Structures are given as structure tokens and as C-alpha cells.
Amino acid sequence: MFSFIGRSIVQKTITLFFVSVVSFLIIHLAPGEPSQIDPMNPKFTPEMVERFQKEFHLDEPLYVQYVYFYRDLFTGKIVSWKDNQSVLSKIWERFLNSLPLFIVGTLLTWTLSFPVGIRSAIHRGGIYDRSATFFSYFLISIPGFFFAYILIILVVRVFHVPVIGMETFGMGDAPWPNLFMDRIWHLLIPSLLGATGGIAVLSRYVRSQMLEVEGQDYVRTARAKGLPPDQVHYKHALRNALLPFVTMFGLILPGLIGGSVIIESIFSWPGMGRMAYEAILARDYPIILTVNFLSAVLVLAGTFISDLLYLAVDPRIRL
């Protein structure tokens, strides 16, 4: 078992290394200069451009830049090119903003998908199943921002509740419960949006897993033993159907640093997604690369955790 962990960590570190190289190359090989040192930009005098170049080692060959970049990253000294603030602290700040969205969205997705998927599978072909299927397809197919605007219009017109931003402007002195409710209202729609796509996909997957398990021989044996239907479905079938989902828990991790750019743009939510988007526009390489790197770390950590969870949960696999 430990050899598995060791091998896995080594493999993932190698992958991480390659990811860092590839992302570095993609950014730097793209045509065009970072906007800070664009010689065309009249704001920058040649001296400033040169100073900028020296400070960020931009005149040195690529592999040297690579080393400098990652050295700075690991020592936490890395700074943004736009405003010279520490990248890591900027990321942290935006991360805290994105976190509530992420938590609420993930909770909604996981708590709603399972009951829907399981019920669809058990009553396959019935009204519930067919309408759930239809809704799932609908939600997967609608363009994100279109749906967002529809929801916004609906909520604003019907409930008269403001939904843009993290909180209503000017609420600073309001009593504590009002502030809290305000925050919740602002949180609700964006998280719901983020969750709907996830619910649609996940519930379909739950349904198909459950259907596959229900067709297995051991479910027939359970029935033949005289077990009541609840036990057959929720004890025997479900336990097997859930196996792949336990491993998916680990894969939630990368979502921490994602943050849908589109949703955050629409709601003017100052989160990670928008920060990355602004960095791309401004060609702020340190931020782009750092976000990329952190995301890769989370993906690899997530798959690692998934593998471990799978080991723990399936008795057939013992390394």
C-alpha cells in the first residue's frame, strides 16, 4: 500500500513538473508582449520598459526565467506585474470571496443530485424519471449567461431583490441579521447557477450507475432472500452504486480554484475567476501562471485523494 502511495506521489510530481513547463511555454511563446512593457504603449518610457525587463528578468533566456519564476513562487515573493502586490495574497483574498459560492454550489449539487438520480432509477420510465431527464437535458443545453440573465430578470422583477455584487451598496450600518440576509440573497442566485449544471450532469450519472447496479445478480439474490424493497435498493444496490462517487469527492478539490468566469462577470462578484480573467486581459503573467500551477496542484491532489478513497471503500481492491 505504501509503495502505491510512494509511486503515486512521484508520478504526480513529475506530471506537475511537466505541467509547469507546458504552461510556462504557452504563456511565453504567445505572440505579443505583456502589456506592461509594450513598446507601443505611450505610457511607458523606454527607461521604464528597460527597468521592468531587468526586474522581472524578461531579457534572459526562457529557462532562466522559468527558474526565477518558480523560485519566487515557492518562496512566496512573487508579485503581480500590474500593481506590484504579492500574487499569493491577492489570490488568497479573492479565494475567500469565491469560497462561499463554491461551498454553497457544491453542497446544492451533491445533496440534490443523489435523491433525484436514485429516485429516477428506481422508478425508471415513470413521470418523475421522465421529467427529471427532460430538465437535466434542458439545464445542460442552455448557455450559461442566457440562463443567468433570465434568472436575474425573474428575481429582480418578482422579488425586488438586488442580486449584483456580494452585498448591497450602502448596507454597512444595517443590523446584523439584515446584513446576513442580504449576503444570503446575493449568494443564492450565483451559487444556484453554478449548481444547476452540476446537478444535471451528476444526477444523470447517479441514475445510470444505479440502473446498472439494479440489474446485477446480487440484487436478485437479495430479493430472493425475502428482503423488503427498501433494503434491496438502499442497502444492497446503493452501496455498490455509490462506489464511483466516493472517488469523485476527491475531484471536488480543483473546483476551489476555478470559479466560473462567466458567473462572476455577470454578478460582478470579485472572485478568483474574474481575477484570472483580468490577468489574462492584462497579460499579467505571474498571476496567470500561479493560478494555473495551483489548479494543477489541486487536480493532482484531488485525483490522489480519489485513489485513496477508492482503496478504502472497495473491499475488492487491496494493494
Partner 1 sequence: MMEEPLTENTEILDGPQAPKQSRFAERFQLFNQNRLALVGLVIFLAFFITAVAGVVLTSGQDPVFNPALVRLQEKLLPPFSRPNLETLKAHEAPTLGIYLLGTDDLGRDVFARMLQGAWVSLTVGFVAVGIAVIVGIFMGGLAGYYGQGGICYDQILSLLLLLSGIIFFFLGWVKLGCGLFGVGIIIFILSLTARRAKGNHFMPGWLRKTAFSFDTLIMRMVDIMLCFPSFFLILTVVALLPASIYNIMIIIGLTSWMGTTRFVRAEFLSLREQDFVSAAKALGVGNFRIIFRHMMPNAIAPVLVSSTIGIATAILTEAGLSFLGFGVPPPYATWGNILSDGKRFIFDAPWLTFIPGVAILIVVLCFNLFGEGLKDALNPKLSQE
Partner 2 sequence: MRSEKPLLSTQDLKVYFYGRDKISRAVDGVSYNIHAGETVCLVGESGCGKTVSALSALGLIPSPPGKIVGGRIIFKGKDILGLDDAAMQKIRGNQISMVFQEPLTSLNPVFTIGDQIGEAISTHEVIGQDALENRCVQLLRDMEIPSPEQRLKDYPHQLSGGQRQRVMIAMALACNPDLIIADEPTTALDVTVQAQILNLLKSVQEKASMSILYITHDLGVVSGIADRVYVMYAGLIVEEGNTQQVFGNAFHPYTRGLLASLPDREKRGQRLHNIPGTVPNPAYKPEGCPFHPRCSHAVENCKTVLPEMISLGNDHWSRCPVLAREL
Out of 40, 224, 281, 319, the residue judged to bind partner 2 by CB under 8 A: 224
- The option from partner 1, partner 2, none interacting with 132 (CB < 5 to 8 A, set by class) reads none
Measured CA to CA, the distance from residue 236 to residue 240 in angstroms comes to 7
- Within 101-229, strands assigned E span none
- The option from partner 2, partner 1, none interacting with 216 (CB < 5 to 8 A, set by class) reads partner 2
Out of 7, 180, 229, 278, the residue judged to bind partner 2 by CB under 8 A: 229
Instruction: Tell me whether residue 4 or residue 18 sits nearer to partner 1 (CB atom).
Output: 18
How is residue 47 annotated by DSSP?
Answer: H
Give contact residues for partner 1 (rule: CB under 8 A): 14-16, 18-19, 22-23, 26-27, 30-32, 137-138, 140-146, 149, 153, 254, 257-258, 261-262, 265, 276-277, 280-281, 283, 288, 291-292, 295-296, 299-300
CA torsion through residues 81, 83, 87, 91, sign: negative
| Chain centroid offset of residue 306 CA | 16
Q: How many chain residues are in contact with partner 2, going by CB under 8 A? A: 21
Which of these, 156, 153, 182, lies nearest to 169 by C-alpha position? 182
Out of 130, 220, 249, 268, the residue judged to bind partner 2 by CB under 8 A: 220
* Shortest CB 166 distance to partner 1, Å: 21
How far from 254 is each of 146, 203, 259, 287, 297, CA to CA, in Å?
Answer: 26, 20, 10, 17, 8
Measured CA to CA, the distance from residue 194 to residue 261 in angstroms comes to 11
* Shortest CB 283 distance to partner 1, Å: 8
Out of 236, 269, 276, 303, the residue judged to bind partner 2 by CB under 8 A: 236
Out of 28, 82, 183, 223, the residue judged to bind partner 2 by CB under 8 A: 223
- The option from partner 1, partner 2, none interacting with 225 (CB < 5 to 8 A, set by class) reads partner 2
Phi, psi of 317 (to 5 degrees): -110, 110
* Shortest CB 18 distance to partner 1, Å: 5
Out of 228, 234, 249, 278, the residue judged to bind partner 2 by CB under 8 A: 228
Instruction: Tell me whether residue 118 or residue 266 sits nearer to partner 1 (CB atom).
Output: 266
Instruction: Tell me whether residue 220 or residue 235 sits nearer to partner 1 (CB atom).
Output: 220
Letter string b/e over residues 237-270, b meaning 16 or more CB atoms within 10 A of that residue's CB: bbebbbeebebeebebbbbbbbbbbbbbebbebe
| Chain centroid offset of residue 290 CA | 16
Q: Please name the residues in contact with 23: beta carbons below 8 A apart, sequence gap of 6 or more.
A: 289, 292, 293, 296
- The option from partner 1, partner 2, none interacting with 292 (CB < 5 to 8 A, set by class) reads partner 1
Instruction: Tell me whether residue 106 or residue 231 sits nearer to partner 2 (CB atom).
Output: 231
Measured CA to CA, the distance from residue 143 to residue 48 in angstroms comes to 44
* Shortest CB 15 distance to partner 1, Å: 5
216 contacts partner 2 (rule: CB under 8 A): yes
Query: In this structure, are residues 267 and 214 in contact, taking their beta carbons and an 8 Å threshold?
Result: no
At 86 the three-state DSSP class reads strand
- The option from partner 2, partner 1, none interacting with 157 (CB < 5 to 8 A, set by class) reads none
